[in-house]
Every structure is written in structure tokens, then in C-alpha cells.
Amino acid sequence: MSPLALVLRKYLVAAFVSLRNKAAYPGNLLGSLLSYAIFVFVFSRIWGTIYSGRAPIAGYDGRMAIWYFIIAEVTAFGFGRFFISLAQDMKSGQVAYLLSRPYDFVLYHYADRMGAAIPEAAVLLALGLSMGATFAGPVPLASIAQAFFLLLSLLLAGSIQFLLQFSLAMTAFWVEENTAFFWIYQKLSLVVGTLVPLEFLPAIAQRLAWFTPFPSIAYAPARIAVAYTPHEALRLAGLQAAWLLASALLCKAVFALGRSRLTVQGG
């Protein structure tokens, strides 16, 4: 087996172990599914009321608005809660055990958290597709290429979510009470492209939004789902790839700076 394959295998095993742990408590998934379902139901009613006898708003008709919300919320529910357990690991000292092991700290956490999150997001997506078919009509996927770009975009969005939340969690190296940072991140992410499409924002806010990672988190996959063109899908996936790289570099930098502040006491 080549060295690269060995490395990959190590992280795949970490992801698989995490998935098995998650699968051992299927009841925990119910809470997430139920919250997502209620949210989708409420917003499908809101959009249904808004668009009753109304022309499209900012280029979105009622069906597009509901489908946009369903896909955008998959990234919020499926990949939006890494911070809590990561920050807990930092604060509890668990981090000290992980540092001494023979794997890359960031990559291990990525494999561990995404191993459990990807299947959960897939279940949420399946639920969303069935609810969308009920409330908004046929699933808006017209080609294999669109489905491919949607899945790729969701995966990139989840990875960016993980890396940014991990960077925020590692601020615990400096300030113990760092939850407020996450709240700000989470709410910005909700307002900028999750609850409503970016096109609904005032012009100046839209322009500013493109300088942030938030359009890559929810807007990109949701836009690919409801208004797919190959050109735009490529542009959005490219933007997400760039933010993935930037987030990975940020995460590595925060870890490098933070680990020098770690003090391990006792065993």
C-alpha cells in the first residue's frame, strides 16, 4: 500500500469509527430531523403565504424560494453544530490526549466530525427532498451534472463550515468563553444566504456579502439547486474551493499559534 493510501486509510478509519458511534444512538438523529422538518414546514407556509398571487421577488418564484430554503438549511442543520463539541474538547483538556497521537490534528478532527455529519446531512437532504416535493412540487434537479454540482457544493459547504467553526473553537486557547464568537458566526451565516437568498438583501449588503465566506456556506448549494446553469455552478464551486483553501490555512494558523499556549497538567 502506498504511503498516501496508508494516510488516507487512517483518516477513513477515524471517519468510520465516528459514523459507527453516531449510528449507535439513532434516537439523537430524531431531534435534528424533527427540528429541520418543523423549520421547513413553517417556512414553506411563510413562502406560500407571501407568494399567494404575487409575481417573483428578486428573480425567485414561490417554488424556488421553498426549495432554496430546504437546501440551504441542510448545510445549517447538517454541518452547523461542530463548534459546540469542538470547543468542549478544547476546554475539557481532551485536546492534550489528541496532540500526542500520530495524526494531523486538524485532519483527524475533520475526518472524525465529517464522518458523522455527512450521513446525517444525507438523511436531512432526503427528508428535505420529500418535504419539498409535498410543499413545492417536483424536485428541481434536471440533469446528472446539476446533481453532481449540488452534492459537490454541499460537501464543500460542510467542509468550510467545519474549518471555520474549528478555527473559532480553537480561540479557547486564548479566551475560555468563546461561545459568543460562534453565535455571531452562526447568525451572520443565517442572515447572509440561509433564511433568504442573497438577492433579497439590500444592494450594499449583497456586495459586502461576496467578500465573506457566508455565500459559500448556504447560498452556493441552494442556488445550484434552484437556478442551475453550468457556468454559474462552476463559478460558485470555484469560489467555494477558494474559501475552503483559505479556511484550511486559517485553521492551521490558529492551531499553530494556539498550541504554543497549551499547558498540560497531570495525566
Partner 1 sequence: MGKGGARPWWRTALSCMRFLATSFVVNVQSALEYRTNFLIQVFGMALNNAAFAAFWAVLLSRTGSVGGYVFTDVMFIWAIVPAAFGLAHALAGNIRSIGQIVQRGELDVYLLQPRDVWLNLITSRTVVSAWGDFLYGFLVIALLPGLSPGRFALFCAMTLTGAAILVAAFSAAESLVFFMGDSSSASGAFTEFLLSFSLYPETVFDRGMRWVFYTIVPSGFVAFVPLAAYKALEWRALALLVPASLAYTAASYALFRLGLRRYESGNQVGTRS
* Binds partner 1 (CB under 8 A): choice among 54, 207, 235, 259: 54
**For residue 184, which amino acid is it?**
I
Residues 93-132, mask of contacts with partner 1 (x by CB under 8 A): ----------------------------------------
What SS3 state is found at 152?
A: helix
Rg (CA), the chain: 19
Q: CA distances (Å), 178 to each of 88, 168, 174, 255, 259, in order? A: 10, 8, 9, 15, 17
Q: CA distances (Å), 138 to each of 134, 135, 143, 163, 226, in order? A: 8, 9, 13, 34, 11
Residues 235-264, mask of contacts with partner 1 (x by CB under 8 A): ------------------------------
Nearer to partner 1, 86 or 233 (CB): 86
Nearer to partner 1, 144 or 180 (CB): 180
Nearer to partner 1, 150 or 190 (CB): 190
Nearer to partner 1, 64 or 237 (CB): 64
Give the total of residues touching partner 1 (CB under 8 A).
Answer: 31
Residues 173-202, mask of contacts with partner 1 (x by CB under 8 A): ----x-xx--xx-xxx-xx---xx---xxx
Residue partners of 92: CB distance under 8 A and separation at least 6: none
Nearer to partner 1, 110 or 185 (CB): 185
CB of 257 to partner 1, least distance (A): 22
* Cα 65 to Cα 226: distance, rounded to the nearest angstrom: 8
Piece in contact with partner 1 (CB under 8 A), picked from 18-26, 53-61, 88-96, 252-260: 53-61
* Binds partner 1 (CB under 8 A): choice among 35, 94, 130, 134: 35
| Closest residue by Cα to residue 60 from 130, 168, 136 | 136
Q: CA distances (Å), 252 to each of 105, 139, 206, 237, 249, in order? A: 9, 39, 29, 22, 5
* Binds partner 1 (CB under 8 A): choice among 10, 17, 48, 85: 48
| Closest residue by Cα to residue 75 from 135, 164, 143 | 164
Positions in the binding site for partner 1 (CB under 8 A): 27, 30-31, 34-35, 38-39, 42, 45-46, 48-50, 54, 57-58, 177, 179-180, 183-184, 186-188, 190-191, 195-196, 200-202
